[in-house]
Amino acid sequence: MAQASTQAAYRPMSGRKRKSFRQHLQDNAGILFVLPAVITFLVFGLYTVIYSVILSFFRWNGFGKFSILPFACAPPACQFAGLDNFAYFLYQEPTMSGFFWQALQHNLIMAVFVTAGTVLVALPIAIALNRAAKGQTIYRVLIMLPMVTAGIAVFYVWSFIYEPDGLLNSVLESVGLGFAAAKQGWLGQPDRALTSLMIVMIWSSVPMAVILYLAGLQTIEKDLYEAAVIDGASAWQQLWNITWPLLLPVTVVIVITSINGVLQGYEMVYLMTYGGPAGHTEVVGLQIFKYGFGDQRQLGMASAMSWALFVLVFIVALVNLRIFRSRTEV
Q: Which of 15, 36, 94, 176 binds another protein (CB under 8 A)?
A: 36
CB 58 within 8 A of CB 66: yes
From 121, 172, 181, 242, residue interacting with another protein (rule: CB under 8 A): 121
Work out which of 81, 104, 119, 129 binds another protein, going by CB under 8 A.
129
Provide the minimum distance between the beta carbon of 19 and another protein in the complex, in angstroms, as a whole number.
12
Based on the shown chain and the rule CB under 8 A, indicate whether residue 34 belongs to the binding site for another protein: yes
**Near another protein in 253-272, by CB under 8 A:** 253, 260, 263-264, 266-267, 270-271
H-run or E-run covering 72:
strand 71-73
- Map residue 262 onto helix, strand or coil: helix
The smaller minimum CB distance to another protein, of residues 240 and 293, is found at: 293
**Contact at 8 Å (CB) between 197 and 262?**
no
Q: How many residues line the site for another protein (CB under 8 A)?
A: 93
In whole angstroms, the minimum distance from the beta carbon of 293 to another protein comes to 7
Of 74, 83, 112, 148, the residue at the interface with another protein (CB under 8 A) is 148
User: Per CB under 8 A, does 321 bind another protein?
Assistant: no
- The CB-of-132 to another protein minimum distance in angstroms stands at 5
31 is an interface residue for another protein by CB under 8 A = yes
d(CA 106, CA 102): 6
Residue 271 CB, nearest distance to another protein (Å)? 6
For position 145 contacting another protein by CB under 8 A, the verdict is: yes
CB nearer another protein, residue 37 or residue 83: 37
Q: What residues form DSSP beta bridges with 78?
A: 60
Q: Which of 85, 207, 243, 259 binds another protein (CB under 8 A)?
A: 207
Please state, in angstroms and as integers, the Cα–Cα distance from residue 319 to each residue in 15, 246, 326, 330, following that order: 43, 21, 11, 17
Q: Are 246 and 220 in contact (CB under 8 A)?
A: yes
* Sign of the C-alpha dihedral computed for residues 110, 112, 115 and 121 taken in this order: negative
Check binding of 40 to another protein (CB under 8 A).
Answer: yes
Q: Is 170 in the site for another protein (CB under 8 A)?
A: yes
Q: Binding of another protein at residue 153 (CB under 8 A)?
A: yes
Among 116, 157, 177, 227, indicate the residue that binds another protein (CB under 8 A).
157
- Asked whether the beta carbons of 312 and 75 are under 8 A apart, the reply is no
Decide: is 303 part of the binding site for another protein (CB under 8 A).
Answer: yes
38 binds another protein (CB under 8 A): yes
For position 187 contacting another protein by CB under 8 A, the verdict is: no
Q: Where are the alpha helices (DSSP H) in the chain?
A: 2-16, 21-27, 31-40, 47-55, 84-87, 94-131, 136-148, 152-162, 167-174, 193-217, 222-230, 235-238, 244-264, 267-272, 284-293, 299-329
Distance in angstroms (rounded) separating the CA atoms of residues 103 and 283: 4
